Structures are given as C-alpha cells and as structure tokens.
Amino acid sequence: MRAVFRSLRVRNMRLYTAGQVTKLVGVWMLFIAQDWLVLDLTDNSATALGLVTALQFTPVLLLTLYGGKLADRFDKQRLLILCNVVFAVLASGLGVLVATDVVVLWHVYAFAAGAGVISAIETPTRQAFWSELVEQELLPNALSLGSATFNVARLVGPALAGVLIAVIGTGAVILVTGVMAALAVLLQLRIRPAELHRDPPGKVAARDARVIDGLKYVWGRPDLILVMVLVLVLGMMAFNFQLTLAVLAKTVFHTGAEAFGLLTSALAAGALCGALVAALRRSRPSVYAVLGAAIMFATFETVLGFAPTFWMAIALAVPTGFFMIYFAQAANQRIQLGVDPQFRGRVMALHVLVFFGTTPVGSPLIGWIAEEYGARTSIWLGGLVSLACTLLVALVQLRRAHATVLVHLRPRPHLHVTEPGDDGSPAVDLRMPRLPATARS
C-alpha cells in the first residue's frame, strides 16, 4: 500500500488530492440533484433531461482545445482556483433558487451550460497540473491516484446524493455541493507554488501558445496518434455503461433500481482496483501495455454482453471495470509522460476531447442499437468493434516496428514482444503487464 500511495508523501499532492476528492464527490452529487430537479420541474420529461445533458457536453466539444491553450499559457494553479470559484458561485446560486422555491427550468439550463464551459477549461488544466505536483519519477503514481479519486467520487457521490435528497431536499444538496467546491478552493490555495515542478516561465506561460501548434505537434507524433485512435474508438463504442447497464438490468434481467445500482457498483469497484494497480507503475507504459489493456477490456465487455444470468453479469462487470480503467490510465500515462511540457495542456485537451467528446455521438448510437436489437447486443457489439479496432491498430504497430511476438506458457502465460535495434539485434523487451498476486486473486 505504501507503493500505491507513495506520491502522497508530497505535501502539494496531498492537498490537491484532498481537494479533488471533495470537489468531485460534490460534482457527482450535483449531477444527481440536477437530474432529479429537472424531472420534478418537467413532470418526468426525458427530453428536458436530454437537453440538460447536451448543454453540459456541447462546451466540451467546442471549448476544450481552447481550454488546453489557456492551460499552456497561464498559471495552472490560478486557473484551477478561478474555475472552482466560478463553479462554487454557480452551484450556490442554483441552490438558493431551489431552496427559495423560485427556480424555473431555464435556470437549470443556464447552470448546465455554465458548468459545461467551466468543465471544458478546468478538465485539461487539471490533467496537465498533475505533472507540476510531483517529480517525474512519481508522476505515473500521481496520475493513477487521480483516476482513483475520480472513481471513488463516482462511487460515493451518487449514493450520498440519493440519501441527502430524501433527508434535506434537492436545494440543500445543491448548496452543499457549492460549499464542497469552496473547500476545494481553500485546499488549492494552500499549495505552495515554490514547491511545484515547473519549467521556466518562458515555456509555461508562452504568449504565442496556439491550438493549431498543439495539433501539429500531435500529428508529428505517431506514438500519440496511435493512443488517440484507440481512445476515440473505445470511448465512443465501449465506454457507455451508464446507458447499457441500466437497459440490461431493466429489460433483460427485469430487476429494479437496486439491482442496477449493484451492477454499477461492481463495475466501479473493479475500476477502482484497476486505478490502484496502475498506481504501481513507475515509468511510461509501453505501447504494448496500452494495446494489451485495450484487448482485455474489449474482450471482457464482449463476454459481458452474453452473460446468461444477472449474477454472472455482476461477476463479469468487475474485471471489465478493472481493465476499463487500466486501459484509460495506461493511455493517459503514455500521453502525459511522452509529451513536451510546453505542449502538455493542448495535448491533454485533445485527449479529453476525443475521450469525452465522443459521448454525444456514441451514446445515441449505442442507445439506438439497444432499442432496436436489445441491451445485450449493444454491449457485445460495442466490445467486438473495439476489439477489432484494437487488433487492427496492434497489427499496424507490429508491422511498423518490425516486432516479433512470442507466446510463452512457462513460468507463467505471457506475450514476449521484441523490436529489432539498428544492428538487427533485439533491443526492446516488452511484456504484457503482470498484476500483483492480490490483484490476480
């Protein structure tokens, strides 16, 4: 466990992580409270709920690349504090409107759009800021713990919101999320700028940082393009469990909301374990580690789609969640640890765009498949398309690198990949990631 949490020895890392847990739990609570509020105001209108979701995601599509430019141009710590202050003000304002019973639907629409704009700026900045909190040796661990905080918040936030809405009401819950964002600001203010690991100011705050330069930089990096392609396809076809698991539980297994919550918790528990195991990584993951995690994730999702019983689906959801986050973290670390610092904000903005920006495209497509052909088909087809794409990308990578793949059954089953050096001798020895004994069990 000391190895898993080793980056928390750094004071700035502890403060920032505590702030992120507080803020993200509040964000997930706010999502639940906001959706519940919309249903109350519209007599359970799914169209209104869909519009709110669209208003939250549209700024991500339009402004995330610009947010990456801001992250490269300005002080990331100050930019994050500003974003969280504005978010706290917006959440508190909406909470007051609800608590005083004067809220109307357009207030929620305006808040959703405003929160989406803040998210489009804050997300790439947050992704790039991890590299300033710790030294390079601890950065893989810090990135994995960042993913773990997100999954902890995803587990705790919705459950806590459901309880609090029943006890203190929707308006009070929204006010609480504003307070939680303010607490995150206070913790971020305690971060010591002198202890941050920053490049010279001329590089970090370059006035001529342009979005097009970031895109050109990625275009000239085949190793980054390969990961971006995987993230694009899997993000669009495979990362739709919020939709597919709900339909699977209700229409296939004919269970209630409690069973759907159990299915989601199994996926999230596996995801949390995947993030913690990824925290053991000490260097930039190889391209084969990313490909291997993607293959395992797509395979388990495909099998999950054919689960014959509800409890079998629960059992398969755990490894599916594990490799889902293990892949996402490997992709994130390969990009973060392989990019020049002066381009990090813009590159991470592109990563966020291809990962989350595909949701408005992938979700309706997967939803249509689930409606026309059933929930099982929407899951196994998404996994199968992802698996086919990953195998195709793997083939391209192996041919481009003139690599050799050997299958070993002893002392343990694994793949042994070698790439020839300049003299034709094996210069690179890359193995699929091995899990610790506790994770394998």
3-state secondary structure of 407: strand
- Which bin fits 404, alpha (ψ -120 to 50), beta or left (φ > 0)? beta
DSSP H or E run through 236: helix 222-237
Report pLDDT digits (tens) over 262-291. 787 788 888 888 888 887 777 788 888 899
CA distance linking residue 278 with residue 281, whole number of Å: 6
Task: Please give the DSSP secondary-structure letter assigned to residue 280.
Answer: T
Percent of the chain with pLDDT over 90: 23
Closest CA to 212 of 13, 370, 346, 70: 346
Grade residue 439 by pLDDT with cuts at 50, 70 and 90: very low
Q: Of 427 and 338, which is predicted with more confidence? A: 338
Grade residue 384 by pLDDT with cuts at 50, 70 and 90: very high
Question: What is the structure's pLDDT at 229?
Answer: 92
Question: What is the structure's pLDDT at 201?
Answer: 45
Question: What is the structure's pLDDT at 162?
Answer: 73
The CATH class given to the 1-207 domain equals mainly alpha
Handedness of CA 301, 36, 367, 255 (dihedral sign): positive
The answer on pLDDT for 204 being more than 50 is no
Fold for the domain defined by 210-401 = Growth Hormone; Chain: A; (1.20.1250)
Lowest mean per-residue pLDDT among 205-209, 316-320, 328-332, 436-440 = 436-440
Grade residue 436 by pLDDT with cuts at 50, 70 and 90: very low
One fold for 1-207 and 210-401: yes
Handedness of CA 245, 247, 248, 254 (dihedral sign): positive
428 has which bridge partners?
A: 419
Report pLDDT digits (tens) over 336-376. 888 887 787 788 888 878 887 676 677 778 778 887 888 89
Give the mean pLDDT of 390-396: 91
Q: In this structure, what token pair is assigned to residue 337?
A: 């640890």
Phi (first) and psi of residue 420, to 5 degrees: -70, 140
* pTM strictly above 0.85: no
The answer on pLDDT for 261 being more than 90 is no
The answer on pLDDT for 77 being more than 70 is yes
Give the mean pLDDT of 249-260: 72
Phi (first) and psi of residue 427, to 5 degrees: -110, -20
Phi (first) and psi of residue 358, to 5 degrees: -80, -10
CA distance linking residue 102 with residue 100, whole number of Å: 6
Question: What is the structure's pLDDT at 120?
Answer: 87
**Where do we find the tokens 């393009």?**
225
Give the mean pLDDT of 85-96: 92
Report pLDDT digits (tens) over 143-172. 778 777 876 777 677 777 777 887 888 889
Give the mean pLDDT of 328-335: 87
Give the mean pLDDT of 122-142: 84
**Cα 65–Cα 66–Cα 67 angle in degrees, nearest 5:** 90
For the chain, what is the mean pLDDT?
81
Let me know: does 36 contact 96? Beta carbons within 8 Å: no
Question: What is the structure's pLDDT at 238?
Answer: 87
Task: Please give the DSSP secondary-structure letter assigned to residue 332.
Answer: H
Question: What is the structure's pLDDT at 359?
Answer: 67
Question: What is the structure's pLDDT at 258?
Answer: 61
What are the structural domain ranges in the chain?
A: 1-207, 210-401
Report pLDDT digits (tens) over 92-105. 999 999 888 888 88
Question: What is the structure's pLDDT at 200?
Answer: 53
Let me know: does 144 contact 279? Beta carbons within 8 Å: yes
Let me know: does 56 contact 115? Beta carbons within 8 Å: yes
